[in-house]
Amino acid sequence: MVKNAVRCRDVVVVRGGREVLHGVGFELRAGSVTGLLGPSGCGKTTLIRAIVGLQAKVTGEVAVLGSPAGAAELRGRIGYVTQEPSVYGDLSVSENLRFFASVLGVRSDDVARVIDAVDLGTHADVRVDRLSGGQRSRASLAAALLGEPELLVLDEPTVGLDPVLRRDLWELFHRLADGGATLLVSSHVMDEAVRCDRLLLMRDGELLADDTPQALLEAVGTDDIEQAFLTLIDRKAASR
């Protein structure tokens, strides 16, 4: 296993003639859960797309599991969950997962494991378009878990979920990390920060902080992560 699952250096992304990421740099330690937090529109999804190799007009270095982002050899080693469910509405949960397993070359008996992991056992034979929004999100997560990928990149996976399901998913994330997987989980919900091993705080296409939750709170002098974020914004503005 590589020591750092992801390494970004001076990453710049231009979209529609406008620079949306401004020289972003950080590393993700293998076997950890890192939270990518910031308000909607700050560049989280663009950064995620650069890491999984789907973003155009990226300059700088983006290395993933020892290879350039988007390299063919990374296929099957990365699980990616988008903000919108990425499963087919006219298929059941299990039909979707059997299809994705065949595309990925994953054994079909892995389907039962991922359905159980996201607690959809009682809905395995239900068409996706008849599921709730939270259930569809979990079906997408199940697809990303097929084959036990080394890197999981999850773009706001807990949006629309009730507190119990959010808690259960974060417990799952840490079990996966304990098993050696690396997770990058984006969110705009600041109270999820304390569930992460490390935090990347973003604002307007820049990283404001890259540290553990506890170290960040101590550096700012508060016990509230949202207040810490606001303080960092004020400091950044004052330094310009």
Residue 10: the pLDDT is 98
Phi and psi at 123, nearest 5°, equal: -120, 15
Residue 240: the pLDDT is 67
Residue 169: the pLDDT is 87
Residue type, 183: L
> Residues 10, 22: contact at Cβ < 8 Å?
no
Give me the CATH topology for the region 1-77+149-162+183-239. Rossmann fold (3.40.50)
Residue 147: the pLDDT is 93
Give the residue extent of every domain in the chain: 1-77+149-162+183-239
What residues pair up with 183 in beta bridges, in sequence order?
33, 152
Residue 224: the pLDDT is 86
DSSP 194: G
- From first to last of its 240 residues, what are the pLDDT tens digits of the chain? 457 899 999 999 999 889 999 999 999 999 999 999 988 889 999 999 999 999 999 999 999 999 999 999 998 899 999 888 889 999 999 999 999 999 988 998 899 999 998 989 999 999 999 998 888 988 999 999 999 999 999 998 887 778 888 888 899 899 999 999 999 999 888 778 889 999 999 999 999 999 999 999 998 898 888 888 888 888 877 776
Residue 168: the pLDDT is 86
Which residues, 6+ apart, have CB-to-CB distance to 183 below 8 Å?
32, 33, 34, 151, 152, 153, 154, 173, 176, 177
